[in-house]
């Protein structure tokens, strides 16, 4: 295991810097003394775009590539046209660094209130494909702005791209007690992409005889997310369906304030990036009201990815205890920094 971590930090906009500060606090507290942590901050996001018109330069991309991992807070602001930072920064990073495993665990921690009745048991992970599907940016518009405009979006799907993420998902299912993998797609309508997904899913499954599998259409999957979420263990799905399902999963497990994610390149050829699922929430920025838990849990994913398994588990345990003691208040009187302090105290020593 490497005994040093070179971490790129993109605090971003809105509540991004606040939650990232707490994530780094907990990271520093959990790491053994002999691990050298070096962080470098990259000022990317809305402010930067307003000032320079840049979202992410090639030079920055090259420098980011040299780090072991990236921690991102949140980017975005209503003052920036929709799509600019998403395509020019967030998705650019995912595509440039080939983050094909977009990992999003969903767990209803004890003590956390779900909007679902009856205190369901929820503990699954979604493995969302991160570099293909409708996210490739392959589209266009003709006669733009006229009553005759036509706009297209092309979903691109490759056997290569699907196979690697599906295999990753099988391996994750194999390593979990229930060993269950669900493929979600819409193969009764999107027959070309859907059948490719299904065929690859079935074929790779032959390598994992212990893993039990099933298939759900995306519309049906949303039903089970609210009526029977305990049926899920690992889910593998395409980029867009994964985007939708993981927000819903976050909602039923207590909100995006708690949902962590990793944009992972398992090969290690490029740094993987970890970020809370929530956005920059400019309405509550700077008020100490943001819950840093999703960022802290993203730090745990980051550590596990870099091989610091015990440290990751310690963070998750600390979060679990903290959440159990919170009562109804999500953030409460402790505020963003107070929660970070409490978690840092719990993981250290």
Ligand X SMILES: CC(C)[C@H](C(=O)O)[C@@H](O)C(=O)O
| Residue 123 binds ligand X, judged by CB under 6 A | no
Element (H, E) at 162: helix 159-174
Active site residue 219: yes
Residue 256 interacting partner from a copy of itself, ligand X, none (CB closer than 5 to 8 Å by kind): a copy of itself
Closest CA to 261 of 229, 221, 299: 299
For ligand X, the closer of residues 264 and 277 by Cβ is 277
By CB under 6 A, tell whether 18 contacts ligand X. no
Tokens 């599998």 found at: 213
Measure the CA–CA gap between 319 and 77, rounded to whole angstroms: 29
Q: Is 280 annotated as a binding residue?
A: yes
Interface with ligand X (CB under 6 A), residue from 188, 325, 328, 333: 188
Nearer to a copy of itself, 135 or 308 (CB): 135
Q: Is 287 annotated as a binding residue?
A: yes
- Is 342 labeled as ligand-binding? no
Separation between Cα atoms, residue 260 and residue 276, nearest integer Å: 5
Task: Please choose, from the candidates 5, 8, 73, the residue with its C-alpha nearest in 3D space to the C-alpha of residue 40.
Answer: 8
Instruction: Pick the catalytic residue from 68, 123, 198, 247.
Output: 247
Q: Are strands 123-129 and 101-107 parallel, antiparallel or unpaired?
A: antiparallel
Answer yes or no: is 219 a known binding residue: yes
**Given 13, 233, 238, 243, the catalytic residue:** 243
282 is in an annotated binding site: yes
What secondary structure, in 3-state letters, does 1-16 show? CCCEEEEEEEEECCCH
Where along the sequence are the contacts to a copy of itself (CB under 8 A)?
A: 82-83, 86-87, 91, 114-118, 134-135, 137, 139-141, 143, 145-160, 163, 186-196, 198-199, 218-220, 222-223, 225-227, 240, 243-244, 246-248, 250-252, 255-256
Part in contact with ligand X (CB under 6 A); list of ranges 9-17, 28-36, 85-93, 145-153? 85-93
Catalytic (active site) residue 243: yes
What are the angstrom distances between the C-alpha of 238 and each of 36, 101, 130, 131, 328?
A: 37, 10, 8, 9, 35
Alpha carbon distance 244, 102 (integer Å)? 13
Residue 199 binding: pick among a copy of itself, ligand X, none (C-beta 5-8 Å cut-off by kind): a copy of itself
Q: Tell whether residue 288 is among the known ligand binding residues.
A: yes
Pairwise CA distance, residues 225 & 231, whole Å: 9
Query: What's the closest the beta carbon of residue 80 comes to ligand X, in angstroms?
Result: 12
Tokens of 286: 């700077």
> What is d(CA 131, CA 240) in angstroms, rounded to the nearest whole number?
10
Q: How far is the CB of 99 from a copy of itself (least distance, A)?
A: 15
Residue 41 · residue 70 · CB < 8 Å: no
Q: What residue number has its CB nearest to ligand X?
A: 86
- Token pair for 341: 């302090």
315 touches which of a copy of itself, ligand X, none (CB within 5 to 8 A by kind)? none
Burial 286-310 (b: 16+ CB within 10 A, else e): eeebbbbbbbbbbbbbbbbbbebee
Region of 86-94, 105-113, 195-203, 205-213 interacting with ligand X (CB under 6 A): 86-94
Please say if 186 is a catalytic residue: yes
Q: Check binding of 219 to ligand X (CB under 6 A).
A: yes
Which is catalytic among the residues 40, 113, 214, 219?
219
> Out of 189, 223, 317, 324, which residue is the one contacting ligand X (CB under 6 A)?
189
Q: Which residues are catalytic?
A: 135, 186, 219, 243, 247
What residues line the site for ligand X (CB under 6 A)? 86, 90-91, 188-189, 219, 243, 277
């Amino acid at each position: 295991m490497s005994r040093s971590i070179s971490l790129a930090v993109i605090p971003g906009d809105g509540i991004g810097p606040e939650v990232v500060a707490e994530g780094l606090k907990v990271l520093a507290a959990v790491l053994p003394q002999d691990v050298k942590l070096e962080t470098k901050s990259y000022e990317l996001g809305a402010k930067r775009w307003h000032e320079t018109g840049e979202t992410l330069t090639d030079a920055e991309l090259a420098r980011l590539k040299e780090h072991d991992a990236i921690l991102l807070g949140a980017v975005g602001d209503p003052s920036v046209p929709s799509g600019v930072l998403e395509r020019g920064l967030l998705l650019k990073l995912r595509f440039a660094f080939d983050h094909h495993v977009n990992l999003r665990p969903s767990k209803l921690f004890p003590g956390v209130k779900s909007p679902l009745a009856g205190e369901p048991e929820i503990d699954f992970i979604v493995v969302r494909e991160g570099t293909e599907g409708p996210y490739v940016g392959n589209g266009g518009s003709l006669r733009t702005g006229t009553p005759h405009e036509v706009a297209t979006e092309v979903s691109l799907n490759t056997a290569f791209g699907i196979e690697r993420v599906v295999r990753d998902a099988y391996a994750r299912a194999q390593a979990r007690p229930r060993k269950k993998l669900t493929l979600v797609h819409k193969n009764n309508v999107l027959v070309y992409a859907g059948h490719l997904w299904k065929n690859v899913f079935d074929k790779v499954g032959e390598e994992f005889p212990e893993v039990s599998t099933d298939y759900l259409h995306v519309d049906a999957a949303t039903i089970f997310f609210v009526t029977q979420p305990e049926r899920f263990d690992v889910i593998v799905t395409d980029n867009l369906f994964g985007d939708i399902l993981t927000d819903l999963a976050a909602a039923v497990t207590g909100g995006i304030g708690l949902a962590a994610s990793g944009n992972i390149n398992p090969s290690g050829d490029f740094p993987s990036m970890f970020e809370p699922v929530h956005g920059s929430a400019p309405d509550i920025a700077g008020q100490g009201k943001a819950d840093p838990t999703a960022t802290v849990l993203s730090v745990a994913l980051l550590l596990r990815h870099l091989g610091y398994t015990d440290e990751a588990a310690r963070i998750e345990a600390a979060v679990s205890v903290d959440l159990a003691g919170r009562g109804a208040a999500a953030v409460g009187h402790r505020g963003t920094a107070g929660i970070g302090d409490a978690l840092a105290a719990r993981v250290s020593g």
